[in-house]
Amino acid sequence: MEAPLAVITGGGRGIGAAISKRLAKDGYRVLLTYHTSSTPAEQVVEEIVEDGSDGFAFKVNCGDSREVALLADHPWVKNGVDVLVLNHGQYHRMKADELEIEDLQQTMNVNFEGSFLVWKALDPLLTEKARMIVIGSQLGIRGSPHGADYSASKGALHAWARSLAQTYAPEGKRVNVIAPGAIDTAILAGDSEEKRREREESVPMKRIGTPTDIAGVASFLASEDSAYVTAAIIHVNGGQYLF
């Protein structure tokens, strides 16, 4: 019997890569997307295949409806998508009072509208008990003085995902949001040692989160252990932000 399929946008780096590898270990075939660089995505696929699972990396600009349509035509999705992880996104550090409408539109196009486009294209292919996992952010709830456009895009994702969850619930499909805190990904790569220590001290658990911390929660949400969980926003932030 063919293994269930997980589609993961932005699955070649950081949180997406960790989720791709974790769901592969859980027994899924993994179709991951990337946008700009194929090398990290192909490396993730190599690890997945070496561990005995199936993986494929597919280049998609999630903000482009034409490219998203090609994703929906991929042979792997024809028999149904069991898990859809909307993880892709962009973040540009910019003060809220310096934000221009073009900046906001670009971020919303990629982070929010791109997620909507992927869902819209794959919706007819979601299986009877499909699970959707949306990677949001604590900034989508509490805001950010240096990332207002990012916060707005993630806040929109949260509200949309919870709305969709209510629509899907009678059908047996589930939609949940993971809201990470400070996670050790490319977003934090430019931190100085001092800034890194400040971040760690601001977290009650006294450490920055890792992509595998997020992947573990994604694994739970993709499994039957979370069969009665939908429309939830699960905070994974070491206690930094309580809501």
Instruction: Give Cα 145 to chain centroid, integer Å.
Output: 23
Token pair of 214 as six digits: 């997020």
31 — pLDDT class (breaks 50, 70, 90): very high
Residue 45 pLDDT exceeds 90: yes
- Given a cut of 90, whether residue 240 has pLDDT beyond it is no
Whole-number pLDDT of residue 1 = 61
pLDDT average, residue stretch 139-146: 89
Confirm whether 228 is a catalytic residue.
no
Q: How do beta strands 233-236 and 174-180 pair?
A: parallel
Does the structure show a pLDDT above 70 at 124? yes
Residue 43: its pLDDT value, please? 97
Listed in sequence order, the DSSP H helices in 26-77 are 38-50, 65-72
pLDDT band at 2 (very low <50, low <70, confident <90, very high): confident
Beta-sheet strand order (sheet of 233-236): 55-59, 29-34, 5-8, 81-86, 126-135, 174-180, 233-236
What are the angstrom distances between the C-alpha of 114 and each of 110, 148, 150, 169? 5, 18, 13, 23
Strand, coil or helix: what is 185?
coil
- Give dist(CA 209, CA 46) in Å, integer: 25
* 204-206-212-218 Cα dihedral, nearest 10 degrees: 0
Burial label, 139 (beta-carbon count in 10 A; 0-12, 13-18, 19+): buried
Residue 167, SS3 per DSSP: helix
**For the chain, what are the domain ranges?**
5-236
Q: What percent of the chain has pLDDT over 90?
A: 79
Q: Is the pLDDT assigned to residue 141 strictly greater than 90?
A: yes
Catalytic residue among 28, 91, 150, 168: 150
Strands 55-59 and 5-8: unpaired
Closest to 14 (Cα-Cα) out of 184, 188, 217, 189: 184
Fold held by 5-236: Rossmann fold (3.40.50)
3-state SS class at 30:
strand
The pTM of this model reads 0.94
Taking only the tens place, the pLDDT of each residue in 63-122 is 999 999 999 999 999 999 999 999 999 888 788 889 899 999 999 999 999 999 999 999
Average pLDDT, the chain: 93
pLDDT computed for residue 227 by the predictor? 97
Q: Residue ranges of the alpha helices (H) in the chain?
A: 14-25, 38-50, 65-72, 101-107, 114-122, 139-142, 148-168, 193-202, 211-222
pLDDT in tens, 157-210: 999 999 999 999 999 999 999 999 988 877 777 777 888 888 888 888 898 889
pLDDT value at position 160?
A: 98
